[in-house]
Amino acid sequence: MTEQRQGQHSGQAWEALRRRAGIAAFLAGLFAALALFALLPGLPHVIDWGAVLVSLAAGGLARWACQSWMTRKAERKAERM
């Protein structure tokens, strides 16, 4: 009974950690892509809707990569135990 509760709490903690890391990765990807469009020489220094959409896609890709990496890391850790 207590093992089941501990497993449930650790699962909830894991999901919360994974969600927070996903949010941080999304924001990092979003701002990195916006900075690229705003500061890179040779590009027009205008943030238009295309740059915003590409930045959102970059943020989504960063979130997906981060959560995928965290899940893969947890699975490997579980296999070792």
23-80: per-residue pLDDT in tens?
999 999 999 999 988 888 776 777 788 889 999 999 999 999 999 999 999 888 888 8
**pLDDT tops 50 at residue 1:** no
Question: What's residue 6's pLDDT?
Answer: 53
Write down the pTM of the prediction.
0.78
Question: What's residue 78's pLDDT?
Answer: 83
**3-class SS letters over 19-63:** HHHHHHHHHHHHHHHHHHHHHCCCCCCCCCHHHHHHHHHHHHHHH
Instruction: Please choose, from the candidates 8, 15, 29, the residue with its C-alpha nearest in 3D space to the C-alpha of residue 70.
Output: 15
CA distance 51 to 46: 8
